[in-house]
Amino acid sequence: MGFTPEETHYKLVFEDPALAGLTVVAAEVSVDEFAEVVNLAALADPANASRMGAEVRRLLDIFAGSLVEWNVTDKRGNPVPADRRGVGKQGWPLMQKIIDAWMSAQADVPRPLPGSSNGGGRSLEASIPMAPLSPSRSS
């Protein structure tokens, strides 16, 4: 019997106050896809604008394939589908921020435990002093 890992979903976090209220949930991608995303994101830089069309489309394809849900609406307030077409209708600055958050969620090491946590600490038994028993007086 084999082991099939569960798919991980990430609720993305945005530091930009302009994105307050934006909810995006995206699934993980394979290691190979993640490596491709990292390379494509590096190319999707305004300095490379003359050669980034195909790379950006591929980056959006991969992201859209992992997009589970979002609460993006159009100018009329209608929900934008969480699919490749909906992703492609958004402005690049917004999509860049979303993709950056998605990449960070997958790449980040879990955050350390809060300061109030002892991280499991030492057990009470481990703190009991241990010394060899004194030789028996009955012998």
Whether 134 maps to a domain, the answer reads: no
**pLDDT bracket for residue 1 (50, 70, 90):** confident
55: alpha, beta or left, given left = phi > 0 and alpha = psi -120 to 50?
A: alpha
At residue 128, the pLDDT reads 54
SS3 127: helix
At residue 44, the pLDDT reads 72
Whether 19 maps to a domain, the answer reads: no
Whether 46 maps to a domain, the answer reads: yes
Q: Are 60 and 87 in contact (CB under 8 A)?
A: yes
Domain span at residue 98 reads: 30-110
Whether 118 maps to a domain, the answer reads: no
Model confidence over 92-126: pLDDT tens digits?
A: 999 999 999 999 999 875 555 565 555 555 545 55
Whether 119 maps to a domain, the answer reads: no
Whether 131 maps to a domain, the answer reads: no
Whether 3 maps to a domain, the answer reads: no
Whether 23 maps to a domain, the answer reads: no
How much is the average pLDDT of 9-27?
A: 95
| Domain count of the fold of the chain | 1
Model confidence over 20-77: pLDDT tens digits?
A: 999 999 999 999 999 999 988 887 766 666 667 888 899 999 999 999 999 999 999 9
- The answer, yes or no, to whether residue 136 has pLDDT greater than 80, is no
Burial class (CB in 10 A: 0-12, 13-18, 19+), 119: exposed
Phi first, then psi: what are they for 38, rounded to 5°? -60, -45
